[in-house]
Amino acid sequence: MRLLKSLVDFSFRRSLVADAAGILYGLWVLAVLLHWLGWIIFGAIIGFAPNPASYWDSTPTAPWLPILIVLLGWIPALLAIVAGRAVIELFTATVRAARDTRESTELLARLVEQTADGTGAESADAADDLIPPTRTHGRTHA
């Protein structure tokens, strides 16, 4: 639901990347694993194909190729998954930093406005009433 709200938010207050980070990561892992599977299939086709250098000889070209791809192909796949995770975390952290900065700016503007009006913020208690509670791991802290 949040993903759909982000798609139609023309004020850009919601971030599509932050809301869909889990989906994007899952799609990335699936794409990397399918790519590795494609290489295994490609290696099997090429490896067990008849030798093109000889018309009469039908021995496989490189039957060890799919085994090599299975044994060593997980390394670049793992590196691609780690790199994808790092990129998604970078985007998510950037969006969160921008959101926190916007909230801090709005809070500061309210404090300045109330101080200029003389309607509050004379005491620390009045300023604390303006500060919204922070969220840490799903729990609200005052």
Where along the chain do its domains lie?
2-98
The pLDDT, as a whole number, for residue 124 is 52
Question: 3-class DSSP state for residue 10?
Answer: coil
**C-alpha distance from residue 66 to each of 73, 88, 96 (Å):** 10, 31, 43
Instruction: Give pLDDT tens digits for 64-80.
Output: 888 999 999 999 999 99
pLDDT (mean) for 92-99: 89
The pLDDT, as a whole number, for residue 121 is 47
pLDDT (mean) for 127-134: 61
Put simply, whether the predicted model's pTM sits higher than 0.85 gets the answer no
- CA neighbor of 92 nearest in space, from 139, 25, 1: 25
pLDDT band at 41 (very low <50, low <70, confident <90, very high): very high
pLDDT at 28 over 70: yes
